[in-house]
Amino acid sequence: MSENTEISPELLNDERALRLAKREAYIEAGTNPYPEHSEVRDYAADIDAKYADLPNEAETEDVVKIGGRIVAKRGQGKIMFVVVRDVTGDIQLFCRINEVPEASWELLKKLDLGDIINVEGIVVRTKRGQLSISPRSIVLLSKAVRPLPEKFHGLSDKETRYRQRYVDLIVNEDVRDTFRKRSAILSAFRRYMEDNGYMEVETPILQTIQGGATAKPFITHFNALNQECYLRIATELHLKRLLVGGFEGVFEIGRIFRNEGMDLTHNPEFTTMEAYRAYSDLEGMKALAQGVIKAANAAIGNPEQIEYQGKTIDLSGEWPSRPMTDIVSEVLGREVTIDTPAEELAAEAKARGIEVKPEWTSGKLIAEIYDELGEDTIVNPTFVCDYPIEVSPLAKRFEDDPRLTHRFELVIAGHEYANAFSELNDPVDQAERFAAQMEEKAGGDEEAMEYDEDYVRALEYGMPPAGGIGIGIDRVVMLLTDSASIRDVLLFPHMKPEKGSKSGAAAAKAAQEAGAGAAYAPNKVPTIDYSKVAIEPLFADEVDFDTFSKSDFRAVKVKDCFAVPKSKKLLQFTLDDGTGEDRTILSGIHAYYEPEDLIGRTLVAITNLPPRKMMGVPSCGMIISAVHEETLEDGTTEERLNVLMVDDAIPAGAKLY
C-alpha cells in the first residue's frame, strides 16, 4: 500500500475497505491487480505425484508454473509459507527473501487470503518434509476485496452457503467433491444410454400445453406471438412423438419446472432423464433403471453397498418388484386388493390420520395409503408396480384388469427415484384420459393435465408399443453422495430475495419493512378487508391463574424449517428454545407460510406439552398462531391463520407471562 493511501479511522476495522484501498494502491503504483495475461503449465496434484519420492531438504532444478488462490499464509522476516489452492489441490510456497526477486517479495508481504496469483519456481522439499515450490517470480492475477470466512459450517450458515455457492466451493473441499461427482454421474448416464442404443435429443422448454405429468406449471408470456406459455413440467409427450416418427430409442437429460413447494427432496427447478424405447415394456425399463444407476455409482468409485443418511443401501444383484397392494397390506396388517371396498379402505385411512374424500375409489385410496404410510418402509431398491388407473393417466392398462396399469416407481430409502410405464399407444383411450383430466382441471385441480390434441393426432398415426421412464437426477446424486438435501446437490438453488436487497419490488418491500420497524414472514393468504373478519367469541368460562401458569409459553428461534414429505399441511421446525438442545415441533401451517420465510424468525411456542407423533415424527410442543374466520365472495367462510411472531431482540427461551 502506498504511503499516500489513507484510510479513515472508522474504516480501519473494515477488512473489505482495507482491501479496496490496497487495490487502489496497486493501481496508483502502476500495477494492474487484474492483468489480462496469465499462464498455468502445472497443477498441484501432478507435482505431488511426480515428486512423491523427493527426499527431505532436496532441491530440484525443475521449474513449474502454477496458478491458484491463497488459502493460508504465515511467517515473517526472511521466510514466508503460503498455501495455494488450484483445481487439483493445495501446494505450499516456501519463500526465502534471498531467493525471491525484491518486487515479488514486496508483493508477498501485501497479499491477502483469497488473492489469486501466478507462481513460477523450482520444486523442493523442506526440512520438515513438506513438498513445496520455491518461487522465482510471483504475479497477482486477481485481488480479492472480500475476505474468506473463517468458519463456513453448520446449520446457521446453510442459507449463506447456498446463496454464495462460490464461497462455499472455495472453502469446503467436500462440497467441491460433491459437484465433481455430480458431473461424473451425468457423464455416466450419457455413456450408458448411448452404449445401449439410445439417441440424445432436445425438446422445447417453452410449451403451450400443460402435459406429460400432473403438476402445477410456471406460466410465462411469449411476446412475439402474444401467447401464454408454460415452462415444461415433463419431456414425455414430445419424446414419444419421436417414436411415432421412427426413432427407436431416445432420451433427454434436462431441466424440468414445477411451481410447487420446496423441501429436502423437492425443488421447483430440477433435472431429469426421460427415456423411451420402441418395442420395449416395463421389464425393459427396470433393466434400464438398475443398469444406469449402478453404472453411475461405479463411476464415482462407490461400492455396491452404500451409506445414505445413516441407512445401509444394497445396490447389488437384481432389484425386486412388489405390487403396491402388497406394501399397503403390510402396513395395514391385513390383506387388501383392488377389490377391497372403498368404504373399508377409507376407514383404514381415517383411522391412521389420513384425510380422504368421499368420491375416492378403491384405487385412489390404495395409492393414498401407500404414499402416506407405505413408501417410507422401503429401504433397498424396490420396483413398486401395479398402479391404479386413477393415478396413472398415461400408462397402459392391464388387459385382464383395466383398473390397474403397467407402471412402476423405483423407491430407495423411502423416496421415489424413477417412474416408468408400458406406454399407452391407443389414441382413443388416450383422448378419453385427457378428457377426464380436463374435467378435474375444471373442478379446480391446477395440477391436472390439459388436452393435447396434437399428441392424440400423433398417436393416430401409430406409435409402436414402448417402455418409458423418468429418473430424477438430483435425487440419484443425493443418494450416491450421501447428501441430506436437494439443495446440497444443486449448484445454485433458488433462494428467496436476500434481506436488504435493493432492486425492484424487493427494495420497496425492504423499505416498507424498515418503516414498520420489524420484518415478519409474509402470509400466503393475507387478510386485507377487515370488514369481513369474524372473531370467535371469548370464552365465558374462567380459568384460575394456577391452571393457566402451567402452560409454559416461550420465545423460540427458528433454526430450520421444511415441508414434511408427503404432507400438504405440515411444516417441521427445528427450534432454539434456550436450553441448548434443539426442539422439534410440527405445525399444520404450510397453507399459509413457506418454510424458508420462517427460518430466522422468533415465534412463540408452548414447550411443556407431551410429545405426540405426527407423520411418524415426535412433535414436542405447539407453535402459537392467531386464528379467525373470513367471509368470502360467495358468502362462505374460511379459516385464516397468522403465526405469532415477536421482536427478534427477544432471546430464545424467554418466558411469556
Q: Which residues are annotated as a binding site for Mg(2+)?
A: 409, 416
Cα(61)–Cα(12) distance, integer angstroms: 44
Per DSSP bridges, beta strands 553-563 and 571-576 are antiparallel
β-strands 305-308, 269-278 pairing? unpaired
Nearest residue to 587 via CA among 623, 613, 618: 623
DSSP letters, 301-345, are T--SEEEETTEEEE--SPPPEEEHHHHHHHHHTS---TTS-HHHH
Spatial separation of the C-alpha atoms in residues 75 and 382, rounded to whole Å: 58
Widest pairwise Cα distance in the chain: 93
Q: What are residue 19's phi and psi, to 5 degrees? A: -70, -40
Tell me the binding residues: 409, 416
Contacts of 166 (CB under 8 A, 6+ apart): none
Continuous H helices in 417-503: 427-442, 453-460, 473-481
Q: 79-86 and 59-74 as β-strands: parallel, antiparallel, unpaired? A: antiparallel
**CA–CA gap between residue 332 and residue 214 (Å, rounded):** 28
10 Å CB burial of residue 90 (0-12, 13-18, 19+) is middle
In this structure, are residues 300 and 450 in contact, taking their beta carbons and an 8 Å threshold? no
Q: Which residues contact 90 (CB under 8 A, 6 or more apart)?
A: 44, 71, 83, 84
Grid cell at residue 196: 445401449
Q: Describe the strand order of the beta sheet including 602-606 as a list of residue ranges.
A: 582-587, 571-576, 553-563, 602-606, 622-623
Cβ-contact 231, 218 below 8 angstroms: yes
